Structure 1
């Protein structure tokens, strides 16, 4: 009888062990699956992407999406036909004695822009290249689908069947107040499903000169890879590239009202939301820390605030990003252009860069990282 009891006890223990392991595995799989965690359907794998283009788009903005597909997003699958942007003109930050990345001075920013303008005018940039570089790029439109009508859902499914470029967020209610959560859900899905080096987040009224942006980003990435050993034990700089503002006052009313921003008088420096580039590791940091990060109403403010404490973030302020709430004075060197309507996108694609733009009251500036926030943006581009 004692032997039988021992066998029963052993059998029960073994059964409990395997059952517990089985349940643990299931729970672990569920936790790691974005379709359960974020409400995103399975995405088709696309390995070794260099750049991911993430467009935050509203459910009813099909016309804007089609305008982007007809114009600059057509370049996603086309090889770059520009000569390599000279690596000697690429700035790489170095660490100071305190272990923090050194900021890029105003004089260097101005010199960099001057060199780019001269390179644009160089005869070499107009000579067709014998070697066409195939750089893997993919775009997706992130759209929240909670509380949409059945007819709108049918329209989105039809659009998805035709273009296969919608990232439909099944747990997201698409409103301005939820924009930061939308970005988090989209980044979560992309990190889980794609291998990429960089991401550019844009709005669906943004035009990107994709050839120019990718060409310079490739040169930056190549130079960084060659110079990695020079950073020694310091972490490799991680790119945060856009047009920065550090003197924006915290909004107290309207759509942009922030009720929980107590950190300072102004928003901490952030790249304007019309378009900015992030390295993959910064995206991973944001996603992995999302349960601990305070979400603010504006997603661009949120990203800037979240990345502020990190000592290895390279904040590349670039006047070529025209990404504010209204266009600045049109310049041929602009490569990311916000607040462009459907007609303007078509005109820009056809070579009419300044079509539809009017005289702007917004000054274009270099960012002075050595001064306080109220003086950060006084060095005008002339």
Structure 2
């Protein structure tokens, strides 16, 4: 299958396995040289390990999802529904891989995303392989509906995450929030309460967090996401770990919140001041203005708001080996948790643009 372009100037959805593997290779080959700017050998090793792990997991999940489809397609005449589910799961994986490689420029965050994607796919594939549709008709129907939801939801995240046309819809919404002085945790709580959840956001299940973030996305006009699928699974079924969808939705929600703040330009200006000194410290100020980013060359410190820190990591402006885990912490708490960065050194560099690389592959292979 050839690449499918969603809209002008937007993501090119690569559906050919060879192109996906090539994109993974190009990203790794362009990211690995960045380690030369890292003077610390342990940090250099961590970064190189992440680059290789992202590549390995990405190629692995592309291959095993193709194998799952081939296996069940071969027995379509016996069980067509299982074959349809395998097709949807492969496309879900391809959309997730495109989103991870094209929309996340930070290697550590991309590693977190593909790890979650593979873990979820493994659970779903395991259930598909074990279920007997002749005995459990309700179970196979539930799994089919669930796979269709994941496929459609991931397609929406991929097409609308970094899309210029989709992001334009967020600016008016973001401006309204800016004028009201609403902080991100308040926005999350507003939607959590609307949905009737009483617990603190950080204690919600992944599917509940996904529902909250999707509510923000839909209200902003950024995308029209399907209602979160609530499965009636057997007690032993494992396929409920939709952490990759929750992560995708949360990153888009943060982008929506900061759309009117021009954070990438502010951060680029700040980190360029620190670029020549190599490693630098980052201090996250939870309550500071969203657009604040102050670089101090004398102390080698970048002071940035929590929203700015997330934006900087997503855009690949700031990177450290632990970035993926830090963003998971922030997004998992709805923006209430500020990570302790005292033990980390950060670096800046021009991270490869997966969307531009995919564009080239779609034209030239």
TM-score by length of 1: 0.28
Determine which structure has the larger helix proportion and give its number.
Answer: 2
TM-score by length of 2: 0.29
